[in-house]
Amino acid sequence: MEATKSGKLVVLMFAVCFALALCLAACNGAGDKATVYTLKQLTVKAAGQEDKVVNLEEATESQIAAYRAVINRYGDKVTIKGKSAEFSGTLFSTLNPAKFSMKGQNVAFSDPAVAGLFTSARLANGRLSVSFSNTNGDIYAFDYFTSAKNPSDFPVAPDPDPGDNPGDNPGDNPGDNPGDNPGNQPSDPPGGYSPVKKPSSNTPSEFDAPVYVNRPVYSGESGSTAGIDYPAPSGSPYVDAPEAFSGLNIRYTDAKTMEIIWNPISGATSYEVYRAGSRLGPRTKLADATGTSYTDASPRANKYENYYFIVAKNGGTTIPLAKPSNPSGWQGNNPHTHIDCQWISLEKKIFGEYTYFYDAKFDSMQAICDEINSIGGQMQGAGNESQMSTARIAYYFKPGEYKGYVASDNRFKEGRANGNSSLWIGFNTSMSGLGLTPEETKIGNRLVAPAALDGNGEGGNVTHNFWRSVENFEMSDGVEFCWSVSQAAPARRIFVNGGRSKWENGGWASGGYTADCYFGGQVAGGGQQQWYTRNCHYSSSYGGTNWNQVSQGCTFTGQNPPRQSNYMRGNQDVWVEETPIIREKPFLFLDREDGEYKVFVPGIRVGSAGVTWRNASGEFIAGNGQIVPLSQFYVAKVGDSAKKLNYMLASGKHLYLTPGVYDVEEPVHVTQPNTIVLGSGLAALAPAQANRYGAVLVDDVPGVTVASIMLDAHYASTYLIRAGGMDCNNNNSKNPTLLADIFCRVGGYMGGTVRADVSMQINSNSVIGDHCWLWGADHGRGGYNATNGLIVAGDDVTMYGAFVEHYRGHQTIWYGNGGELYFYQNESPYRFGDTQYCAYKVWNTVETHYAVGIGMYGLGTNIEHGAEVPNKPGVVMESLITTNLGGGPTRNVINGTGGSTQGTFSQRVAQYCNGEAVIGGATPRTVAGVDIPDEELSVPGGPLS
């Protein structure tokens, strides 16, 4: 039988309904008491549709036979959660076991054939919570209401916290879920917060509400579904629920066919089906379809090279389709309100609407440039309004060579090299190659981050060039890499093959960060205020940064790179020979051996220098690390709740966040060791209005990675990201947690005043922070209230490239012993008058601490000490600078030494240790420092003083 998607919904509903009715009609209760349950009605709740009530007594035997065939054909699976129930029935025995299952506790079956299909069920308060999904991606959640002769046979303990989940602590906040922060009592002290406790004994399988909405199903496995309870086969990436727009869906079968279905279009008498190897590639017409489905029996062997385009026709006339709405507010590069076709591919199903893939095998460079530059203009063109937008996008370039196009738009001809035009990367955008090593993806076009201010062109003010990234490709044929950026704009794993690299292009710039990059030509800092470079290679000279230029763990072949710090001579260069401990950020790649998407997780390096992906002989290598199949990730999309994300995490899945802004009603809670939370396209997590805790909470477990995400305060919360609760004592030194490319923003997006007490709080030991921008918004919409940017209470924490700005209290507070920090950039809050707080505070209880490359820039506030540290031999600070950007001065660089910026632009201290400062210059001199007492201070999580 052929059915539309809506028709399938009806038959599938009745199949499930009648099966359950047969099953429950002959039920035996606990002990010897007879209990008969009869399902009376079914309420269907499907996303984007109205609730539907179905009378279960309307289905006939002949309908059931037809519905059973549909179930077996399309691989539907029902999950029933129950407890203390017995079932019998014959319909179940005829179903494919791989397509129908039940889960719960203490279930017996009178029919042995049925027992092999089910494991358990749950019945509570006369109500069954049921959900099912099929391999077409149709996801439905059901509530079954029952009548019972002996309901007392199934006693249910009263919930001590109505509206909450059973088993939570009395007095907890209604709506808290297992895995949240249980135990917060009304008696919590005002202004303080109880320590974060471990989850209660509740487990995800005890959730009351259906938790399988949008449950993923996997391509390549005909008739099988997969998720938390039924793991997918290794290496099988999953296809998520269908897009809301026109119900277009795709399934890849065991028979190596592609099945496409769609909702009927009003007025359409037929549909044209086209196929291309990529989204921008040339299309070939496959068929004229009179129904709303099509099966491609001979797709391309590489399943990711099959993109399908459906055109609705009325006779010979194409029906214009309404352009799909964009929840982020960005309407894409098509300025029209209607489009001529809808399209689908496995990549779109996996990664969503705002992840764009390019393939040199099919795409012209002209089409790629035109699209990226059009989008870049939209993402950048409105200045501050653009940077505060919720729009997010990720570009992924498959392995291949991309070059040879000269743009027709004069905007994009500026500074082109070798006849090749520029690719413009705007706000909230990431661009990545999909090779395992950078040279697999060659970009022959100049890369530019256009100035956000002063006309949005090149050579302008790039101090607002935030929130973008580039990663994992080669700039080939001597093409220039012009990465003119400021904060939150990392460049990683870039191979500049002979071309010049410029951090600034004739304008005014702040910034910036590069890691694991190979520069084959000259590197020019230009007018950049500061820059941090880690584990890179220089083939020629590097210079030009104005205030604070730090190179760490870098190698070189030329004669000009700095090889030692020159702060002792009063200059700005810092050269750190090696990186003590680091693990590079994980990244997505397309495995050429089996054609599947995977994530490469680099291994730990100790005492390292140079890049990870090229050896001393010039050979390209993957380097030490682990390859994790995408099937081990839950691929999240905007609209996924924090409950769902936490369910996936607690069940052992990693988390991959596709582009967008996720409002989280509770913290995204990492409880399992070695978990990866990886974002793309500047994906953002924002605590929802009722979430007073934060965006991300990592338990005190080893080996966690949280990377490439924004954390945005929209209302009021305690923290944005916290690693570990209070009293963390675990020794994670052999397998440290990594926080990489974490960008916290308090204010700017919302109108009114928003609050986050602390942006990043690290309580666990041996955490590595690698490039974090923690920002109290000095511009944008509304105001902000943010006390501290970074609080470190854990021991042996190492931070690389910490940017902390505009907080109202101490910008950074360091309580833990053994801490190390390499490169620090800070601006004071924009307010006039005196403040007792400083840019960098090490508590007097600390015995050992090392920090180098500390930039502290005052603007509008009178600051007594830029940095305050205890006078102890184990506390060493090197290469510090203060500047006066306007308004009040910073009177001392550190502990009463270094001098004031009143009447002068900057002051420097080459070293401070145990009460003595060394002031660099032609003749370095030593100055005695002062002791600074700690004030009484309470921080989120309880007092630490």
C-alpha distances out from residue 918 to 878, 909, 910, Å: 9, 6, 6
Helices (H), 704-830: none
The whole-angstrom distance between residue 701's C-alpha and the CA centroid of its chain comes to 20
CA 775 to chain centre: 18
Residues whose CB is less than 8 angstroms from the CB of residue 158 and which lie 6 or more positions away in sequence, other chains included: none
Residue 561: CA count within 13 A, CB half-sphere: 24
**Helix (H/G/I), strand (E/B), else coil: 16:** helix
Q: Is the peptide bond before 512 cis (omega within 30 degrees of 0)?
A: yes
Residue 74 φ then ψ, to 5°: -100, 0
Contact present, 683 and 655 (Cβ < 8 Å): no
CA 425 – CA 469 distance, rounded (Å): 8
Catalytic positions are 827
Residue by residue, DSSP assigns 513-559 as EEES-EE-S-EE-TTBSEEEEES-EESS-EE--SSEEEEES-EESSS
Cβ 412 vs Cβ 422: under 8 Å: yes
Query: Angle at Cα 650 formed by Cα 644 and Cα 655, nearest 5°?
Result: 65
How many other CB atoms are there within 10 angstroms of residue 267's CB atom? 10
Q: How far apart are CA 842 and CA 849, in angstroms?
A: 8
Contact 225, 218 (CB under 8 A): yes
* Integer Cα distance of 486 and 503 in angstroms: 9
- Residue 19: phi, psi to the nearest 5? -60, -45
Nearest CA to 766 out of 815, 816, 732, 792 is that of: 732
Calpha distance 286→306 (Å, rounded): 12
For residue 438, the SS3 value is helix
Which letter does DSSP use for residue 417 in this model? Answer: B
Residue with tokens 């505009």: 806
- CA-CA distance, 462 to 484, in Å (whole number)? 7
- Using CB atoms within 10 Å of the CB of residue 909, give its burial: 0 to 12 exposed, 13 to 18 middle, 19+ buried: buried
Radius of gyration of the chain (CA): 30
Cβ(131)–Cβ(212) below 8 Å: yes
Structural contact between residues 343 and 308, judged by C-beta atoms closer than 8 angstroms: yes
The label of the residue with tokens 């029919």 reads 111
Nearest to 236 by CA among 514, 606, 790, 632: 632
Smallest CA-to-CA distance from 377 within 325, 421, 429, 431 is with 429
Whether the CB-CB separation of 780 and 747 falls below 8 Å is answered with yes
Distance, in Å, from the CA atom of 710 to the CA atom of 680, rounded to the nearest integer, reads 10
Cis peptide before 896 (omega within 30 of 0): no
* Best CA proximity match to 484, nearest among 499, 474, 471, 464: 464
Please give the Cα distance from 478 to 500 (Å, whole number).
7
Tell me the C-alpha distance between 921 and 908, whole Å.
9
User: d(Cα 452, Cα 631) in Å, to the nearest integer?
Assistant: 38
Backbone dihedral angles phi then psi of residue 877, each to the nearest 5 degrees? -120, 135
Q: For residue 856, what are its two tokens?
A: 């502290």
Identity of residue 219: S
